Amino acid sequence: MISRVAKGGLTLAAIAAICTTLVAATYRLTLERIAANEQSWLEQSLAPALGGVDYEGSITESRLVLEPPHGLPGNDEAIIYRAYSGGAPVAALFAVTARGGYAGPIRILVGVGVDGTVTGVRILEHRETPGLGDGIEASRSDWVRQFDGRSLGDPPAAAWRLRVDGGEFDQLTGASVTPRAVLKAVRETLLYFDAQQQEIFDMPATAETP
Amino acid sequence: MSSGQLADRMQAGLWRENPGLVQLLGLCPLLAVTSTFVNGLGLGIATLAVLTCSNVLVSATRRWILAEIRVPIYVLIIASLVTCTELIFKAWFPALDRSLGIFIPLIVTNCAIVARAEVFASRNGVVSSLFDGLGMGAGFALLLMAVGFVRELVGKGSIFSEFDKLFGGDPLAGLVVVDGGWLLAVLPPGAFFSLALAVALKNYLDGKRDAVHNT
């Protein structure tokens, strides 16, 4: 006669084994689909910041991960994707963090062509106020598109500010803190690109961590 | 179990003992994700599936489970089912998974599910537990959809937007009734107001029916 405790323990172990098998089987079944989804989601979310740039191959393969301090905006990991055409660099994409928003860090994507002009800016992640600061999202307003085609000299450095601050860029209705943070990060990214362009395209891609 | 009793289980879940409206269980996901109809539908289906499967499994294994270890076993069963659901969502409905975010894994902590396991499935047969799960799950899902529908309509002025999250394809704006909306509805207070109105409406309807019966 086995004790009540032993019986309970054995039941628990048996059920745990069955449940683990179930989860493991589902994991194996969905593994490939999930990896493919994540890959295509990444490519999809990068593409809009590379408006009008022709490049070859998969941009995600040229991923470069920089640990802070790296000189780019934000004090967490920055990621650079590089686009090449015929072996020559055509553009770089920066995933950086803008500080100074209303509600925590804003993760943004800045695309810069080799000539130093912005190919596109997109917001990856933010927690700004719905209805006000979230106008930085491309799906909610055209605000973020005003950076397209701009560069460090266009407008001149003194005008790389919001209109409320005496610059040339529009703010959002009812929100200037969020746009100011994004604008600053875009400008700092351009400055970094200007200074480090050679190194950015020469560095080997960061190996995938399993 | 007669079909009358099964219908009674469904009715209990959908109306009389509705987990959200009457038992007020699982309010955290209810309030958090219902900013659009599609979000409500997605989380509703996920919760319905987990609740039904967990009810069936708990009921099927109830003879071998000692009273002392029943809660850890419910947790194991529910957590495994939720993990599987999350993986399935990530594989087949990635857009919906991204918009529901943490609330899919958090189905584990939805007290409506463990409550049904404890109160009903551990004491009743597999078939009636199945129907209890379907009824309670559907009741919860319909409430999520109703609250989502109202909040989306008032807050964004649209109906059934973002259906592409379920079926893929290009982003859909849905049916735009008015451009823009009353922002408060999609913010957290709007969730509380909508739920309170839903509970009040149910109590009003019940009160009216009782009044008819009593006269």
Q: Provide the number of CB pairs (under 8 Å) joining chain A to chain B.
A: 60
Beta-bridge partner residues of B3: none
Contact A34 B76 (CB under 8 A): no
Would you give per-residue pLDDT tens digits along chain B (215 residues)?
678 888 888 888 888 888 888 888 888 888 888 888 888 998 999 999 999 999 999 999 998 888 888 889 999 999 999 999 999 999 998 888 887 878 888 888 888 899 999 999 999 999 999 999 999 999 999 999 999 999 999 988 888 877 777 766 666 666 777 777 787 888 888 899 999 999 999 999 988 888 887 76
Q: Is B186 on the interface with A (CB under 8 A)?
A: yes
Contact B91 A34 (CB under 8 A): yes
* Shortest alpha-carbon distance between residue A143 and chain B (Å): 17
Which of B62, B66, B122 is the best substitution to test chain A (most A C-beta atoms within 10 A)?
B66
Residue of higher predicted confidence among A58 and B18: B18
Which of B73, B162, B165 is the best substitution to test chain A (most A C-beta atoms within 10 A)?
B73
Q: Determine the Cα–Cα distance for residues B1 and B132; give it in Å rounded to an integer.
A: 12
Q: Determine the Cα–Cα distance for residues A143 and A121; give it in Å rounded to an integer.
A: 10
Q: Per-residue b/e over B182-200, b at no fewer than 16 CB within 10 Å?
A: beebbbeebbebbbeebbe
* Shortest alpha-carbon distance between residue B205 and chain A (Å): 34
Residue of B87, B171, B187 lying closest to A30 (CB–CB): B87
So what's the pLDDT on residue A64? Answer: 87
pLDDT digits 0-9 by tens, A125-169:
888 887 788 889 888 889 999 999 999 988 888 889 999 998 899
* Shortest alpha-carbon distance between residue A7 and chain B (Å): 8
Q: Is A34 on the interface with B (CB under 8 A)?
A: yes
* Shortest alpha-carbon distance between residue B212 and chain A (Å): 45
| ipTM of the complex as predicted | 0.79
Contact B84 A26 (CB under 8 A): yes
Band (A208; pLDDT cuts 50, 70, 90): low
* Shortest alpha-carbon distance between residue A121 and chain B (Å): 20
Contact A23 B73 (CB under 8 A): no
Measured distance between the N- and C-terminal CA atoms of chain B, rounded to whole angstroms: 34
Q: Is A57 on the interface with B (CB under 8 A)?
A: no
Residue of higher predicted confidence among A62 and B204: B204
Q: Determine the Cα–Cα distance for residues B81 and B113; give it in Å rounded to an integer.
A: 11
Measured distance between the N- and C-terminal CA atoms of chain A, rounded to whole angstroms: 49
* Closest to B80 (Cα-Cα) out of B61, B96, B93, B63: B61
Mean pLDDT of A99-124: 91
Mean pLDDT of A85-96: 89
Residue indicated by tokens 């960061």: A206
Least confident interval from A52-61, A72-81, B160-169, B201-210:
B160-169
Q: Is B173 on the interface with A (CB under 8 A)?
A: no
pLDDT digits 0-9 by tens, A16-27:
999 999 999 999
Report chain A's mean pLDDT, rounded to a whole number: 88
Q: Return the number of other C-beta atoms located less than 10 Å from residue A207's C-beta.
A: 8
Q: Determine the Cα–Cα distance for residues A184 and B8; give it in Å rounded to an integer.
A: 62
Give the pTM. 0.75
Residues of chain B numbered 85-104 and touching chain A (CB < 8 Å): 87-88, 90-92, 94, 98
Residue indicated by tokens 């604008």: A183
So what's the pLDDT on residue B161? Answer: 79
Q: Is B72 on the interface with A (CB under 8 A)?
A: yes
Residue of B72, B80, B84 lying closest to A12 (CB–CB): B72
So what's the pLDDT on residue A210? Answer: 44
What are the C-alpha distances in Å from A16 to residues A22, A45, B53, B86, B122? 10, 39, 16, 19, 18
Residue of A7, A22, A30 lying closest to B88 (CB–CB): A30
Q: What are the domain boundaries of chain A?
A: 47-202
